[in-house]
Amino acid sequence: MITSDGTGTIPNITNFDKLVSHATGLGTSYNPANPLLKVTALSSQLALMQASQKALDDSFSDLTTARNQRKVAFAPLGALATRIQNAVIASTTSEQTDESVKSLVRKIKGERATPLKSKEKIAAEGQTTEETHSASQLGYNDQVENFQKLVSLLKKTPEYKPNEADLKVEALDAYQIELAVKNKAVIDSEILENNARNERDELMDKPTTGLVDVASDVKNYIKSVFGATSVQYRSISGLKFTYRRS
């Protein structure tokens, strides 16, 4: 199976380009009855395949950029959440509010309220490992949701009035919007990249009309016309075309 990053696809396209050039060079002696094997059809298929691969490359670059920007945006979140928690504890908020803030901060940072049990203790208590899995919520979607909950709680807490500019509710509100925007940009980019990949794979692997099957038919046609030991066939017999899907 070809790797998902597209490295195995490039040889297919490169070899198909060579195959089209060879068929063109045969002139009028290359005259298949199958319209899919005509030189004009092959040239159009090659151009479409190249354009599809470029679209995938571009969408992958966009996705990489979006992921990098999200990573940078989220990097300060854990430390900021800790500072918020300390600011709340240092204020005159109620114990219930403090505990609510601590709970949200733990979720943002992927921490547990209680430590994980050892495998031995789990077995002794008759539990399964699945029942004691970490409560970590470090997924980007979870972090966005929990930070939004934290900011919403702070908005409704009149005792929370820090002097530090980056801890003020207005700054935190702007930051949570930024995180949501950066996270959605990745989600949207993943959808576009996945669609581009599916389109490219369809053009490559589709039975009968896909690049791999058409290339095989071209090679078989040249073999039938000129013979398996002919120069014409031997010059293209080594061109390999492989399916991306197993």
pLDDT tens digit sequence for 75-121: 999 999 999 999 999 999 999 999 999 999 999 999 876 555 555 66
* CB 57 within 8 Å of CB 192: no
Q: What pTM does this model have? A: 0.81
* CB 53 within 8 Å of CB 13: yes
* CB 184 within 8 Å of CB 176: no
Indicate the SS3 state at residue 66. Answer: helix
**Which pLDDT tens digit goes with each residue over 114-158?**
555 555 665 665 555 444 444 445 799 999 999 999 999 999 999
Q: What percentage of the chain's residues is helix, strand, coil (to nearest 5)? A: 70, 0, 30
CA-CA-CA-CA torsion sign (38, 41, 42, 43): positive
